[in-house]
Amino acid sequence: MKINVRQREGVTILDLKGKITIGVGDVALRDAIHQALDAGAKHILINLDDVTTIDSSGVGELVSSYTTVTNRGSKLKLANLPPKVADILQITQLITVFDVYEDEEEAIAAF
């Protein structure tokens, strides 16, 4: 998985691309979240538009990201969920745990 980090209107946006899967993608996401928090990010948006596969470890890392960011007093939102990722968050009943938005603009406006 590749992660591109950018800033927009005070929000740190992580553009995830590829597979969030055990051993590689989950570790990359964890590192990116910690780096953003260490850099002082208060508002973090994960853009899932180009995610093709998310296994249970990837879902677990999203949950860890949410709890880590929240415990540090920052806020995390998700945007642009591909249908298969949305299905996964639905069946794991995590869709209501996360703040999920249709697109980047909507998510940024909601911080």
Partner 1 sequence: MPTESSPFHLTIGSRFENIELVHAVLADALSAFDLDEESRHWIDLAVREAVANAIKHGNRLEPEKRVEIELEMEHEDLVVRVRDEGEGFDPGDLNDPLAPENRLRPNGRGIFYMKSFMDDIEYRFRPGEGTEVTLRKRLGGESESDRVGTDASGNPVDEKET
Site residues, partner 1 (CB under 8 A): 21-24, 53, 55-57, 59-61, 63-64, 66-67, 84, 87, 90-94, 97
Residue 2 C-beta: closest distance to partner 1, Å: 15
Residue 53 C-beta: closest distance to partner 1, Å: 7
Residue 54 C-beta: closest distance to partner 1, Å: 8
Structure tokens at 84: 């298969």
Q: Which alpha helices (DSSP H) does 1-111 contain, by range?
A: 25-38, 56-71, 83-91, 104-110
Residue closer to partner 1, measured from CB, 4 or 90: 90
Residue 67 C-beta: closest distance to partner 1, Å: 6
Q: Which residues of 79-97 are buried (b: 16+ CB within 10 A; e: fewer)?
A: bbbeeebeebbeeeebeee
Distance between CA 80 and CA 37 in Å, rounded?
Answer: 22
Residue closer to partner 1, measured from CB, 35 or 53: 53
Residue closer to partner 1, measured from CB, 9 or 31: 31
DSSP lists the bridge partners of residue 3 as 16
